[in-house]
Structure 1
């Protein structure tokens, strides 16, 4: 009896066209970004103050205004005004878009005043500094606690671990769910495989929920520079930007929909659309916070980041799914080899999206190619790139060496042997991607700025400081 084709011509054309379309889409978006955008600043930079740094005023101002080059987020209790003796001056601070406005709520006498401030950049990184000016004449002695401000922009390692778990669970759950409805055969003989993938996707979704939800309190402590006891204070939670709550909620909600609706029998079109929609919501949400918030052009960078996450989910989820079900399907070449053939056809487009989108994101977030060599963020990013190259090499070995052997196998035992080899290689490839995600977990909350970077405007203002004492700014 003649063997059925592993992959129909129409299926192959559709898969090939879709893969090419993915690569073309991200290529066009990237081209637009390269042609129309200049390198972006990593996060908020102080550009001016009123009164200026070191100014000597005839009368005390009613308010002090610090202006940044982008919107900032307030830190409750993060702004304090001191007189020259180190006594706190009654004041109130409010953030209005890119401006920090500090109202002086009591009369002040002659002498030097120092405003010590701490804020959160729109990309989630803390920043801080101090501003000194005088009324009447500068004080001969200025003794202000915390005037020399240093804000540590390195996120705690626990937050990095939770980020890793969150992204690992997200990409695995969404990728396995999408694989189940896109690549498995649409007949009852794949029902056991669908059931196994649904269980794996639900487990991964649980890991994602833990990672994303438990990261929220650590983000609050990191951004505000507070200890764990601050979590008992409602102001700590209210200080977080709404996106810090909305993104984990969207990730969890999208995954819950996707893994709940995942079929264990041949799926109807509506169920397929629902699974893919849930995956899409979950994968798009992380692009709305973090480094992409501060990169320009914002809409382009967010769009490319979404494509990057979708491609990564399809790659990792596809590998995990093949490792889980290929052994069982290998007894029937129309199933096992056909599944691998369909996924392999898509893989070329997926890799194109990852390479082009990842390169564009690295340029837009780091701000320049030189930053890849001069910053801790760049060093981690290069480690990630090297790991991805290893995974690509393994994927190429699978595609061009192991897959043809599996497709050419005639006997059941031979197919099983070649399938086992493919599964072993796929597991190694998936392990490399897990390592890539571990690096990504620590990249998410790491500042792309050099540790010694100081805004040019702040450097210029610091030259105006009176000779009694120098003010050191540490703006991340």
Structure 2
């Protein structure tokens, strides 16, 4: 027979359990609403971010035939570009190099032809660096007097490597892991550890961890600088000792690592040995954390994303939130077992649990916005190496969020309500399971950082192989007695070449009464007539910029006689 006191105790226990369940459900709903809101932000937000620089125009135009040699060749891009030492070379049709000099003026590349220019075909090979840090390049062919029958230019078909080397990705990952661990652990010590003897022992251990992590991060950021220079400028390792290499590197690639190093030195170096920091020292530590976390946003993809201010601000929040989460989880994994022996364990877990909820919200929203602005489209997630790596990162983060949710919603409330000592069923401290799952969470976040190291230098633009060309699969039109084969190469968004090759019934080159006229349109978008130049008997070509995907109609008009002017249309599907 139960006593009234026992009944009251049971009633209070039941109410406590119901309250705990209600708290879990409430937090789970909040997380679900956050994820739904983030998904809605992606779906509702139209428009893509700008990728790396794209060539918009050149003077002379590709395939142009000039009466006299130009003094300059000008390239115009859709955003600012950075010059590369020996990145511009001009060749004549025999492969002999024509003396030239080049200068970059914002979004324009101006190539001066300094020596005597021979008649025939000329080829300009160019390599530059886009503002997002990715190398770009290509070639331009035009002729003086008449096109050469044979063109033998070295490396004319070689494109610059756009994929960063694996070693750079590994070094970047190590640098980011050290940065986030050093900043996060330092902030954890200042903001979350209470002033008692048990916490002092944890503080002394975490001070060492923060300094080691800061050292690893500094080493990674410093080691990445020469690798970035060689990758962006397309130079051999021997060029590291050449002063021209460093003068050509974008200033941000040198300034950002320096700022990161200063921030890490302040954050880890100002931590006291074992006692709580005073207000002045705590301010120095937090200022160093903010400096180190904000600097990476000033380089990489955010420099090319638009609006740039939004992308940079969101990137800073993303890195700061990641450092808080990763550093906090790492610190808990290392010292929670010791903290749980006293009251400090419950205090620290409660504080970090509250902070982690806000950090998760910032990470989800900031990560979503960054993915939207950098990747630019759903297709980019499947058609680019950047998008595929981003999906891997999202998948690992999702698992880490699941473990974090289990820790915060189930294990933390259980630890708060547990009595001191060991669990009667397992014989272990109540915090033991939380320590183990926290270490799993920390391991998953390390994997996320390694993936991030490869993402930093991956281009969000589609790989060249992702855009099929029309060169081998043109569309034919019948223009009276002339057959024209029309091609659009490459078949993708951006600069393209539309070409028509005309033959008679015997397969010989054919000409009309006048040069053919080609015009492009798609729905409500009309690009108008494309200026074409003759590349040889019966072959005409013109340059165009395809602005969007979808079906594009090429209208072909040819005056075959003085009175006949057949008009035909072919359609290309731009993926």
Same fold (TM over 0.5): yes
Q: Deviations over 1:141-169 (max 9, x none)?
A: 21111111322211111101100100000
Residue from 206, 211, 222 that aligns with 1:202: 211
> SS where residue 459 of structure 1 aligns?
strand
CA gap 1:34/1:72 in 2 versus in 1, 3 angstroms: farther
Residues 138 and 466 in structure 1, CA contact (< 8 A), matched pair in contact too: no
Give yes or no for the alignment of 1:449 onto 2:486. no
CA gap 1:443/1:32 in 2 versus in 1, 3 angstroms: closer
Partner of residue 267, structure 1 = 277
Inter-partner Cα distance in structure 2 for 1:459 and 1:147 = 18
Give yes or no for the alignment of 1:460 onto 2:469. no
Residue from 398, 417, 424 that aligns with 2:436: 424
Name the structure with the higher helix share: 1
Residues 53 and 461 in structure 1, CA contact (< 8 A), matched pair in contact too: no
Deviation at 1:194, TM superposition (A): 1.1
Partner of residue 87, structure 1 = 96
Residue from 53, 74, 86 that aligns with 2:62: 53
CA gap 1:470/1:328 in 2 versus in 1, 3 angstroms: farther
Inter-partner Cα distance in structure 1 for 2:328 and 2:499 = 55
CA gap 1:407/1:152 in 2 versus in 1, 3 angstroms: same
> SS where residue 136 of structure 2 aligns?
strand
Q: Which runs of 5+ in 2 are unaligned?
A: 1-29, 468-489, 501-531, 544-575
Inter-partner Cα distance in structure 1 for 2:117 and 2:331 = 69
Deviation at 1:84, TM superposition (A): 1.1
Task: Give the count of matched residue pairs.
Answer: 447
Inter-partner Cα distance in structure 2 for 1:95 and 1:32 = 36
Deviation at 1:435, TM superposition (A): 0.7
**TM, length-normalised to structure 2:** 0.74
Inter-partner Cα distance in structure 1 for 2:43 and 2:229 = 32
Partner of residue 472, structure 2 = none
Partner of residue 3, structure 1 = none
Deviation at 1:461, TM superposition (A): 7.1
How much is the aligned-residue C-alpha RMSD, in angstroms?
2.5
Name the structure with the higher strand share: 2
Partner of residue 4, structure 1 = none
Inter-partner Cα distance in structure 2 for 1:199 and 1:432 = 23
CA gap 1:462/1:355 in 2 versus in 1, 3 angstroms: farther
CA gap 1:107/1:457 in 2 versus in 1, 3 angstroms: farther
Partner of residue 335, structure 1 = 344
Give yes or no for the alignment of 1:38 onto 2:24. no
Residue from 170, 173, 176 that aligns with 2:182: 173
Q: Deviations over 1:385-442 (max 9, x none)?
A: 0100100110011111111221111122349612121111100010001111111111
Residues 126 and 138 in structure 2, CA contact (< 8 A), matched pair in contact too: yes
Deviates more, 1:434-443 or 1:448-457: 448-457
Residues 53 and 462 in structure 1, CA contact (< 8 A), matched pair in contact too: no
Deviates more, 1:415-424 or 1:118-127: 415-424
Residue from 146, 156, 164 that aligns with 1:155: 164
Give yes or no for the alignment of 1:315 onto 2:325. yes
Deviation at 1:467, TM superposition (A): 3.8
Deviation at 1:88, TM superposition (A): 0.4
Partner of residue 357, structure 2 = 348
> SS where residue 146 of structure 1 aligns?
coil
- The 5-angstrom pairing of residues 112-151 of structure 1 reads 112-151=121-160
Partner of residue 16, structure 1 = none
Inter-partner Cα distance in structure 1 for 2:420 and 2:138 = 72
Partner of residue 368, structure 2 = 359
Residue from 244, 249, 253 that aligns with 1:240: 249
Residues 53 and 80 in structure 2, CA contact (< 8 A), matched pair in contact too: yes
CA gap 1:33/1:285 in 2 versus in 1, 3 angstroms: farther
Deviation at 1:41, TM superposition (A): 2.2
Q: Which runs of 5+ in 1 are unaligned?
A: 1-19
Deviates more, 1:232-241 or 1:278-287: 232-241
The structure number with the bigger radius of gyration is 2
> SS where residue 440 of structure 2 aligns?
helix
Inter-partner Cα distance in structure 2 for 1:32 and 1:459 = 30
Deviation at 1:67, TM superposition (A): 0.6
> SS where residue 418 of structure 1 aligns?
coil
